[in-house]
Structure 1
Amino acid sequence: MKRSTAHIKLATLAALACLCQATTAQADSQWQWRDGSGRMVYSDVPPPPSVPAASVIKAPGRFAGSLRPVEPPGGSPAAAAGPAGVAAATQAAPAPGAKGNGNAKKESVASAEEAFEKRRAAQAKAEADQAAKDLAAQERQVRCAQSRNYAMSLQQNRRIAVSAPDGSPQQLNDDERQAELQRVNATLEQNCT
């Protein structure tokens, strides 16, 4: 009876954790700004161009007052956005004679995605390499422990049998035991120090 109660509690806690995480993720994708009358507005889309950047309190993945995704029509971003807009206008101003920065934005997004994919692939490769190294080290420890146990058995004069070429067990005599012990100790020195 206690076991089923513990399972119910654990399932309830897991469900609450998932719900909290989903709520947090949803809250992180929200925009927050004050409109012209001072009311707080929450939305999952960016504010209209008429809202100055200084009025934007929260933007997904950005700090308040950072670059705006939508420029106001017929005016410069600096005029509508205040000091934060001046910095944005100086950073995002197109070169003179340029016909638009739509392609530049697409290229920068694509290059950012490529860079992210490269970093993610490099991290996955590094994690796989580290996992392989850890597994090899673990297997080495097991082999070394087995070799140490075998050497101890040889030193204690326990009966040791090896397989003959025909597959039948063959007992080691004293000379063969010493030769086997020397071989095992050499292997331990070489691989397990």
Structure 2
Amino acid sequence: MKPHKLLLLILASTWALGASAQWQWLDKDGRKVFSDRPPPLEVPQKNILKQPGYGKASSQPVPAQAPAAATTAAPASAAASASAAPQVSGKDKKLEEAKAKADAEEASKKKAEEERIAKVKADNCARARKSQTSLTSGGLIGTVNDKGERGFMDDATREAELKRAQGVIASDCS
């Protein structure tokens, strides 16, 4: 057998190892379901066939309460085991830090975008004011047409450009 075929065979056989960490259960129609996620809450414990890392699921349901004799016999050991158990706050510090970092990055991006928009508006305002000054001065304004020929702006075009500049000033200058 060639070395590359042997390597492919070994690689293919290791992929099957990941499939062992799966859940198996019977759905409401009696079909087997395989998943890497736990079954929905409405699936009864007796229908769960396999859990990852636990092998075959127990067929006996876990009792909700311990018998009364067991609770009275060892109250001191129960208190000791309860104090030794890690305190779970319900929040993951790393997740909270990552969320805070993402929120800070998003806020900085938003601020940078607002600053960029403000700069563009200021540039537009300055150009519109300069254009308005030129258009209202009363002097001839030279233009170049599509063919590259020089000419002068007529009164109708001057009025249209003046209205456009005033619109930009109204929207971008504050």
TM-score bucket of the superposed structures, by smaller chain: 0.3 to 0.5
Answer with 1 or 2: which has the greater Rg.
Answer: 2
Q: When the two structures are superposed, what TM-score results if normalisation uses the length of structure 2?
A: 0.45
Q: When the two structures are superposed, what TM-score results if normalisation uses the length of structure 1?
A: 0.42
Instruction: Point out which structure has higher relative CO (alpha carbons under 8 A, 6+ apart).
Output: 2
**Structure with greater helix percent:** 1
